[in-house]
Structure 1
Amino acid sequence: MQQCSYCVNFTPAFQIIAMTKPATLKEIARRLNVSVSTVSRALHDHPSIGLRTRTQVHQLAQELNYEPNKTAIFFKQGKTFTIGVILPNLSEEFFSMAITGIEQTALKHSYNVLMGQSHDLPELEKRITATMKDHRVDGLIISLAKDSKDFEHFNQLDKYNIPVVFFDRIPPQKTAHYVSCNLRPGISQAVQFLIKKGHKRIALINGPSSLLATKERMEGYTAALHAKKIKIDMGLVVSTDLSTGGTEDAMKQLLALKNPPTAIITFNDYVALDAIRYARRHNKKINQDLSFVSCANLPITHYLDTPPLASVEQFPREQGEKAMEIMLQLLTRGEELKQKGQFFQTELESRLELIEP
């Protein structure tokens, strides 16, 4: 009976895989008739091992494709050189820019990054945090889900000596390590910018009340109006849950006002895109009948035919870099910092950036 070509080729392929399997310390020791500890010290060029033995061990290790057992090394050092990162949604350009900053800084210091997405769900955030702990990450960097209010799952990581650094979306805890962008000055600049363009009915589409950034936006908005002696109309302040439907509901409220706004400041660029689309569907000429200013200053807005007039820069990449820098300090000086009760709390100052269509 004639064999199929598949069967003929399969066995040699399997044999090749088996033959090229990397060797272990035990295999090298057996072939050279020395102890495993001698092989280990020779590979690390320990002075207690003679030159001839060291040379033989290195040559055989190379011939056998020996690779160090990283798991064993990590166990001995008490580190995995892995940092866990949890983001609300990696598809958002803001967070993809932040992870670039985190990864590049991590790689410079020989750390790897393990990613997780909460999709803005607090329960999923808790589950991913537990998974990160089980995978023995050395530290955790996180931007909170929009409705996160319980932070005990992060506090529990202290029992396992896993430091946590928050960025952008941070908890209302004075004892937290964090990096954020102070949005008050940027929002105030946005209001002043619109006033100079002749607008007095300026609306704010703000975010979920659970986020500190929502409070900052409101403070910047009211401060600028007070400074210009413009009466604050709370009917012009609405909120969105950051979904398309939530933003459309906010726009519906604003456009239904007896005296609707002539300009709108949105929570971020994604909210601006949804708001602009809604306004167009209702026959509004963008930046003529209704002007927009957004937050985040993401590159995508620069490719729109009618982008917002301006956007508040929040420095996502820089936030990621600084979060990783803080993490490295915690990993190298953790116990020392605990004894001193020192916490890293870094704030970048937002600023308004004009957008050229």
Structure 2
Amino acid sequence: MDVSLAQALAWRLERHFLVAGARSVTEVVRRLGAVPAWSGDPGLATGRRSARPSSDALAGALSDGDLIRTYAFRGATHLLAADDAGVYLAVRCANRQWELPSWQAHYKLSPRDWPALREVVRDVVAHRPVRHAELIERVANYPRFRHLRAALADPSHTLLKPLAWQGDLCFGPVQDGQITFQSPAASPRWTGIPDLHEAGRRAILAYLAAYGPATRDNLRYWLVAGLSAGRRRLDGWIGDLIQDHIAEIQVDGSPMLHLREHLASLTAAAPKPEGVILLPGYDQWMLGAGTADHRIVPAARRPAVTRGANVALQAGQVSATWNIDRGVVAVSWFAEVERPSREELDDEVERLSGLLGRDFTMTIAVS
């Protein structure tokens, strides 16, 4: 089976809710797998994909426990759907980083110490959100872990991250400008950490449901570079799913993987080159595939996208960057890409105005 890249990107735009919006921000986050909370604009990223965007939708979903905020991909903070979060955290734990000799030497913690440390942390956050300082004091109050005070206080949270990956804590609501930590079980939709191999297969299927058709390199970027799954382990999971769940297809002659259940909708996808979509920097449209994927991000334009430039999509490909300066949306259209009509850009800037609650004018330059 061979489909065009234009068809593949048209199908993916639909799956990303960039053609027709989702019913809720939770549906958006679940479909994308994760939404970065450490940078970019998660409110704009989810709002642009929502049928009825609301400025307080993310806060409401976090408060209700539909979403959790925790350390996930690349050790950075992400929003995850609470009922799917355990899948990605299980994969993130695959390399058991805290058991490396360098970790044991630096933190003076052996693998035998971790069950007790985890139990203490779970007890601290079991009943309510606690501020960082309280977490430090209550853990360090145990003689066995007194030496961890400085490490726990490190603003990089390096020692806290494996505790988040194992489902012992996640971020709670901000209190008086200070972060808190709570148990992910504070969400009624938290389902715990599944078996690693079950989680790995589920993560692959979820990825292809949103980012397919995808190359094996795309999957390695997502689950190996992003979550430390391990290349050999990932290839084994893919092998388990080939035939029954995953089909090997060609996209403009390049081998890719796609879910069998979505083959019919892929072949029926109708490319629509018209229309412009403005997305914030670090949006999952680019990060999910990886900025090195030249099908999405032109190679010559990758540095700006990697640094977090806001982008404009045309037919699913990054075709411009943009920024806001004193009420003006300044669009820098790539010289090598055919420029859209002024009306198409005006329509998207008007949508951006609605999402951000501000009126904007627009300028267009060629870069």
Normalised TM-score (structure 1): 0.25
Normalised TM-score (structure 2): 0.24
Larger relative contact order (C-alpha < 8 A, sep ≥ 6)? 2
